[in-house]
Structure 1
Amino acid sequence: MSGKLSKDEMDALKEVARGLKTTRLSHKVFKNVKALTSQKLAAYERKTGILQITDLGKQTIFMTLCIDCLRQLKADPCLKVNGEALAFLLRKGHLETREGEVGHFITAKGEESLADIDAQR
């Protein structure tokens, strides 16, 4: 994942990910456009000049979503979370389902990943 983003920058990136229709930017996106473009999370389209999210930006949003899902499921294994992130975390071995129990439980690998992420902050 790229450099650390503030909450405001992440919100702006999510707004760009929804798809902008014009070159006119909202206040939040305008305020953070330099940070997003310098980290190559968003770029201006050549023909139209509209700001669009890059593949790295999509990846950043998805990884943030996965980290949030891990934290939420650590607190409450029965919580309903994003399907794509849940499938990814199950496939990578960060979460598991247990026989006879309801919900998704964080594995030792998932705990280590969260500890590494928290140590970087």
Structure 2
Amino acid sequence: MNDNLTIDEFNALELISKLRKGDTPNACIGRNSKRLNGLKFIKYHKDGIFEMTEKGLQTLFVKRCIEGLRLVSQDATTTLAKDVATFLSKKGHIIESTEGGFAITDKGRDSLVDIDSAPAVRV
């Protein structure tokens, strides 16, 4: 089965991650929950509660890292979430700039080229 997610499915995944107990799921969640559950990104309980799985949380984190890397490549003064900045720094994709903010490394630029050239990605 293909694990590539559409933009709408990513949006639903993000909404589910922010859903609090007792909140009513919106239409975006409703139309995407069956596939997300089947792909093991979320768990749907019989009482109507959605739960993020480790796979779902990891997917959202990777998406945030890719978006952060793109932001840094466009604007070096951008601020990143601490967990994203730490991960990208440890992997050698960004370095802290002396003026504040971050600078993208050659490895980070190469990674963005690889991500953008991947034919099956629908982010």
Shorter-chain TM-score bucket reads 0.7 to 0.9
- C-alpha contact 1:37 1:43 (8 A) present in aligned 2: yes
TM-score with structure 1 setting the length:
0.86
Report the CA distance shift for 1:108/1:34 in structure 2 as closer, same or farther (over 3 A). same
Distance 2:95 2:100 in 1: 11
Listed as ranges, the matches of 1:1-121 within 5 Å are: 3-22=3-22, 24-45=24-45, 48-98=47-97, 100-120=98-118, 121=121
Identity %: 33
Distance 1:101 1:49 in 2: 49
Report the CA distance shift for 1:28/1:105 in structure 2 as closer, same or farther (over 3 A). same
Distance 2:102 2:22 in 1: 41
Consecutive unaligned residues of structure 1, counting only runs of 5 or more, are none
Distance 1:70 1:62 in 2: 12
Q: Whose relative contact order is higher, 1 or 2, with alpha carbons under 8 Å and at least 6 apart?
A: 2
Note the aligned Cα RMSD (angstroms).
1.9
Consecutive unaligned residues of structure 2, counting only runs of 5 or more, are none
Aligned length: 118
1:72 is matched by which residue type in structure 2? L
TM-score with structure 2 setting the length:
0.85
